[in-house]
Amino acid sequence: MNKYDVIIVGSGIGGLCCGSLLALAGKRVLICEAHSQPGGVAHSFKKKGYKFESGPSLWSGIGRWPTSNPLGQILKLLDEKVELVKYQGWHVSVPEGEFNLEVGQEPFKKRINLLRGHKSVEEWNSFLSAIKPLSQIVSEIPLLSSSPETINFLEIIKLTTKFFPNINLLPKLNRGFGDIVDEHLKDPFLRNWVDLLSFLISGMPMHDTNSAAMATLFDEWFQPESYLEYPKGGSESIVKTLVNAFKKNGGEIILSSRVETIKFSKKIASGVTLENGSEFISDFVVMNTDAWTCRKLIPREIAKKWNPKANNINKCGSFLHIHLGFDASGLQNLPIHAIHVDDWEKGITAERNIVVFSIPSVLDKSMAPKGKHVLHGYTPANEPWEIWENLKPTESTYKNLKEERCSIFLKSLRKIIPDIDNRIEIKMLGTPLTHKKFTNTYCGSYGPALSAAKGLFPGCKTPVKNLLTCGASTFPGIGIPAVSASGAYAAGNIIGNKEYKNLLKMLDL
Ligand SMILES: Cc1cc2nc3c(=O)[nH]c(=O)nc-3n(C[C@H](O)[C@H](O)[C@H](O)COP(=O)(O)OP(=O)(O)OC[C@H]3O[C@@H](n4cnc5c(N)ncnc54)[C@H](O)[C@@H]3O)c2cc1C
């Protein structure tokens, strides 16, 4: 039987970060991935010369150094680089109007002035001043070295001393961001805007979104020199880079290898059994699967060790997707990203109210055949699973519902490309069932809907010895920077605090 130091279930970005750091630290690691491709929701697929993205499209803080992005820090540790294209602008379509917007402070202030007048600019300035000290604190506490499970008393004292003038602000960081918004913003557009950014980060409204995560976003997006980064070749390049780093240090990955159960010996995690019956033994198991899938992989007897509250988790909504390959001729100044909000009054979590588009071939010609563009659009975490769960993809009811609900995409896309219908060469629509099938996520969900107002996401340690978790269900939560950090925490727990801190010393955080 094959014996490893660590087996990781799932090759999402969290699992890959965990695996590559463990391999770097000399551990013998196996990653078992159910899908035929690594990357989890960040995987892509090819058709007729187009490379279609399925998940994340907004990347930042990976290419520059220093960076506060844990993924950028992990790539540095692994001595790996990804070729990136810098850009600043995205297209915004909101009830107040259509405009191109650049990241950075001044462009947004100009836009506020045009839309809402100078009083609202003043309000925004006061809001930014309130967030600035929070952003400073966050940038001074490197996420990678601050897992709530490993940070020690001495380090807390050191940090407390460092932030002495702003010490009263520390509790705010773990609260809902909406509290800070309520204190400073009255203008409905500004409040809606922050609610939208919060929702894109967490899948929840601003009152439920963690203030530390938002302070990080504001630090990155609203600096004078801010820019975004698109990985050349798409998300796949990030995934390939992590897989290469993992393999370079002796890691093994097996694809199309669904784990059926975690094995236990004397109630200690001791390996995995795959759906095809293969068994692998290990000292540790890390589950990169979501919270619900994790529970299914564990025998009931062992699952009892979890606090019943932890087994009753609310989920974020799912996604509708559109993938298009279309004729690019004559299309000038297309945005790489566009966001469309139909009606603020419906609320940020309303179904089919928000659509996000990304057209990576605008920046990277290798993503589409010559003279064509490739587009991925999705409704972010606001499609209810429940209306799809009992439908069968072969039935006409499903097909009709899919066409009807996905019509929101072309409706909003026509605002940017009026003749889009005549340009389409390939069109693929996806529902929560598609999302679930290709990402192996519970109910096609974005992840747990754990309100920041009620506490933090659970850490990477579980109640079971030698069984850990990482990914979007683990602290600090959803999103690429967060899952990268959780992967590092799980690795740190396995290699030991001292060795982990030694590893991080290379970064001089
Ligand atoms: C449409 C979309 C757009 C997004 N946009 C952004 C963005 O722009 N910026 C950003 O920062 N974040 C974005 N996110 C969020 C971010 O991509 C995710 O939070 C993150 O990639 C999740 O990583 P993870 O490590 O939790 O693993 P996941 O990606 O969930 O991967 C888990 C892996 O485990 C595998 N698995 C599951 N069960 C088993 C099993 N039994 N055996 C073996 N393998 C199994 C799955 O196949 C999968 O590969 C987006 C997400 C989506 C869906």
- Confidence class for position 162, pLDDT limits 50, 70, 90: low
Q: Which two tokens stand for residue 67?
A: 């960076």
Ligand 1 atom 52: residue of nearest CA: 55
* Cβ(12) – ligand 1 distance below 6 Å: yes
Can you tell me the distance from the alpha carbon of 82 to that of 244, in angstroms, rounded to the nearest whole number? 12
Burial class of residue 132, CB neighbours in 10 A (0-12, 13-18, 19+) = middle
Percent of the chain with pLDDT over 90: 78
Return the DSSP state at 293. Answer: H
- DSSP per-residue codes, 219-268: HHHSSTT--EEEETT-HHHHHHHHHHHHHHTT-EEESS--EEEEEEETTE
Ligand 1 atom 4: residue of nearest CA: 56
Using the mean position of ligand 1's atoms as its centre, give its distance from the Cα of residue 92 in Å.
Answer: 26
Ligand 1 atom 34: residue of nearest CA: 10
**Phi, psi for 151 (deg, rounded to 5):** -65, 130
* Cβ(30) – ligand 1 distance below 6 Å: no
pLDDT score of 339 = 96
pLDDT score of 154 = 54
Residue-wise pLDDT for 71-129, tens only, equals: 999 999 999 999 999 999 899 999 999 999 998 889 999 999 999 999 999 999 999 99
Mean pLDDT for all residues in the chain: 92
Ligand 1 atom 18: residue of nearest CA: 479
* Cβ(444) – ligand 1 distance below 6 Å: no
Residue 35 CA: nearest ligand 1 atom is 47
Residue-wise pLDDT for 316-361, tens only, equals: 999 999 999 999 999 999 999 999 999 999 999 999 999 999 999 9
Half-sphere exposure of 454 (CA within 13 A, CB side): 11
* Cβ(483) – ligand 1 distance below 6 Å: yes
Among 33, 41, 383, residue to substitute to test ligand 1 (most atoms within 8 Å of Cβ): 41
Residue-wise pLDDT for 171-180, tens only, equals: 667 788 999 9
Half-sphere exposure of 24 (CA within 13 A, CB side): 26
Tell me the pTM.
0.95
Ligand 1 atom 12: residue of nearest CA: 479
Do residues 476 and 210 lie in contact, with contact meaning Cβ atoms separated by under 8 Å?
yes
Using the mean position of ligand 1's atoms as its centre, give its distance from the Cα of residue 15 in Å.
Answer: 10
Select 2-42+232-313+457-505's CATH number: 3.50.50.60, 1.10.1200.10, 1.20.140.10, 3.40.50.1860: 3.50.50.60
Within 8 A by CB and 6+ apart from 432, the residues are: 318, 319, 320, 383, 384, 385, 388, 389, 443, 444
Strands, E assignment, 369-481: 372-378, 424-430, 467-469
* Cβ(480) – ligand 1 distance below 6 Å: yes
Alpha helices in 249-369 (DSSP H): 291-296, 300-303
* Cβ(53) – ligand 1 distance below 6 Å: no
Residue-wise pLDDT for 122-160, tens only, equals: 999 999 999 988 888 877 777 777 766 665 555 555 555
- Whether 272 has a pLDDT exceeding 50, the answer reads yes
Alpha helices in 332-431 (DSSP H): 396-413, 420-423
DSSP count for the chain of H helices, then E strands:
17, 18
* Cβ(431) – ligand 1 distance below 6 Å: no
Q: Count of CB atoms within 10 A of residue 395's CB?
A: 10
The most distant pair of C-alpha atoms in the chain lies apart, rounded to whole Å, by 70
Can you tell me the distance from the alpha carbon of 439 to that of 447, in angstroms, rounded to the nearest whole number? 12
Q: Which two tokens stand for residue 187?
A: 């203008």
Q: Which of 272, 244, 254 is nearest to 3 (CA)?
A: 272
Using the mean position of ligand 1's atoms as its centre, give its distance from the Cα of residue 453 in Å.
Answer: 24
What Rg, from alpha-carbon coordinates, does the chain have?
22
Can you tell me the distance from the alpha carbon of 47 to that of 39, in angstroms, rounded to the nearest whole number? 18
Can you tell me the distance from the alpha carbon of 10 to that of 459, in angstroms, rounded to the nearest whole number? 18
- Confidence class for position 163, pLDDT limits 50, 70, 90: very low
- DSSP per-residue codes, 128-183: HHHHHHHHHHHHHS-GGG--TTT--HHHHHHHHHHTGGGGGGHHHHTSBHHHHHHH
Residue 378 CA: nearest ligand 1 atom is 1
Task: Please state the domain extents for the chain.
Answer: 2-42+232-313+457-505, 103-225
Can you tell me the distance from the alpha carbon of 86 to that of 83, in angstroms, rounded to the nearest whole number? 10
| Residue 95 Rama label (left phi>0; alpha psi -120 to 50; beta) | alpha
- Whether 218 has a pLDDT exceeding 90, the answer reads no
* Cβ(325) – ligand 1 distance below 6 Å: no
- Whether 301 has a pLDDT exceeding 50, the answer reads yes
User: Which CB contacts under 8 angstroms, 24+ apart, belong to 423-426?
Assistant: 423/326, 423/327, 424/324, 424/325, 424/326, 425/48, 425/325, 425/326, 425/327, 425/372, 426/47, 426/48, 426/50, 426/323, 426/324, 426/325
Residue-wise pLDDT for 32-69, tens only, equals: 999 999 999 999 999 999 999 999 999 998 988 888 88
Can you tell me the distance from the alpha carbon of 103 to that of 185, in angstroms, rounded to the nearest whole number? 20
Q: 């897992």: which residue's tokens? A: 147
* Cβ(441) – ligand 1 distance below 6 Å: yes
Q: Which amino acid is at 384?
A: P
Do residues 134 and 173 lie in contact, with contact meaning Cβ atoms separated by under 8 Å?
yes
Ligand 1 atom 22: residue of nearest CA: 472
